[in-house]
Copies of this chain bind each other. A is one copy, B any other.
Amino acid sequence: MALTRFVEQLRRLGPLSEAEEQALRSLPGRYVDVPANLDFSESISSSSERILVLVEGLLASCYDTEEGERQLTALHVPGDLCDLNSLVLASKPMCLTALAPSRVYAVARGAFTDAMQRHPGLIGILWRYSSSRVLILNERVVSLGSRDARQSLCHLFCELAVRQGFSSGGVTTTYALPIKQHQLGSALGITYVHVNRTLRALREEGLVHFQHQIVTIPNWDRLTRQAGFDPGYLTGYLQ
């Protein structure tokens, strides 16, 4: 149950043998509930030797600047493995924060590496997963560097829809996104005031509605066109 969505994500990236899938599903771990607005640094999670898979809620990797600003560098939706980098490298100033009340499945690091040794194919698969997350990060760089607030917002709504499997061509797309406008701003590098104004404009144009933490996309094609969104970077097809 805990890792179902995670396994689904991996399967989208490439073939997964029966044995490999079984090895993943049977990874021992425990559920941890996290209240909203709790920060838990990755270093803490790695010192307790845990790999975290988000089951429910919304997490973010974040980075606090000296000026007191907080930049969210990645959003994690259910099924995401949150701190894969900490498996091989200790990253000092990065931390995880819960944007909404969340539940994670914590796997001991040893169990994880054991599974990889017994099933070497998993290494390649997880590497591929890691690469797919890099592509998402790349896209965030493009948003922050080259898109205005309007496009960034549209793009993010598209990305999260696809990542959660909610995108659909013809009909209205709707999904829950338990995030505050303030946090949206921290992710997109703009102030919450400007997030608010931009959301209103998008709502008035009928491009996308975000209210009460629910995203409604009346016309998927129109939004993706506005956002310059190309889902190719998410599907991560094999060569």
Q: Which A positions have Cβ atoms within 8 angstroms of B? A: 13, 46, 61, 63, 65-67, 69, 71, 73, 84-86, 88-94, 120, 123-124, 127-128, 130-135, 137-138, 140-142, 144-147, 187-189, 228, 230, 232-233, 236-239
A232:B93 contact, CB within 8 angstroms: yes
Most buried by B among A13, A46, A127: A127
A65:B228 contact, CB within 8 angstroms: yes
A135:B89 contact, CB within 8 angstroms: yes
Known contacts A89-B236, A92-B233, A120-B120; can you find 6 more A-B pairs with CB under 8 A? A66-B228, A92-B230, A93-B230, A93-B232, A94-B138, A123-B123
Minimal beta-carbon separation of A63 from chain B (angstroms): 5
Docked pose: A135 CA to B133 CA in angstroms: 12
Docked pose: A146 CA to B67 CA in angstroms: 9
Docked pose: A127 CA to B237 CA in angstroms: 20
Residue in contact with A90 in the complex, picked from B142, B189, B239, CB distance below 8 Å: B239
Given contacts A88-B127, A135-B85, A141 and B65 within 8 Å (CB-CB)? no
Docked pose: A91 CA to B134 CA in angstroms: 10
B237:A90 contact, CB within 8 angstroms: yes
Contacts of A93 in B (CB 8 A): 230, 232-233
Residue in contact with A88 in the complex, picked from B61, B71, B124, B188, CB distance below 8 Å: B124
Which B residue's beta carbon lies closest to that of A147? B65
Which B residue's beta carbon lies closest to that of A187? B145
Residue in contact with A141 in the complex, picked from B86, B140, B237, CB distance below 8 Å: B140
Residue in contact with A131 in the complex, picked from B46, B69, B89, CB distance below 8 Å: B89
